[in-house]
Amino acid sequence: MQKAPTTFKPGATQTVAVGSSSAASNAVNAQTRDIRIVTTVDAYVEISSAPTATSSSFILPAFTVEYFRCAGSDKVAVLRVGAVTGTARVTELSQ
């Protein structure tokens, strides 16, 4: 039986501070291919094996849940858009 592409089982979740300089999560599990990200403030986000979030990175609006494909061992870097600091939650997903 094939599973629906948007049906995920949540796995490990990391919390990353969203502040005035880029901060990265730990690497996701090598078998992880999908992640869920939500932040408490507008944030610039970068996803790669050695990410640095900058003002050129894509923006994730506060409290907007987004799902992304990733490569095993990728990290997520975040940087606040405005003056307010917050947190990001990065959850590994599986099917």
**31-77 pLDDT, tens digit each:** 999 999 999 999 999 999 999 999 999 999 999 999 999 998 999 99
* pTM for the model: 0.91
**Using an 8 Å Cβ cutoff, are 47 and 68 in contact?**
yes
Rounded to the nearest integer, the mean pLDDT of the chain is 94
Q: How far apart are CA 27 and CA 83, in angstroms?
A: 27
Render 22-49 in DSSP notation, one character per residue.
Answer: -EE-PPPPTT--EEEEEESS-EEEEEES
User: What token pair was written down for 56?
Assistant: 């050129």
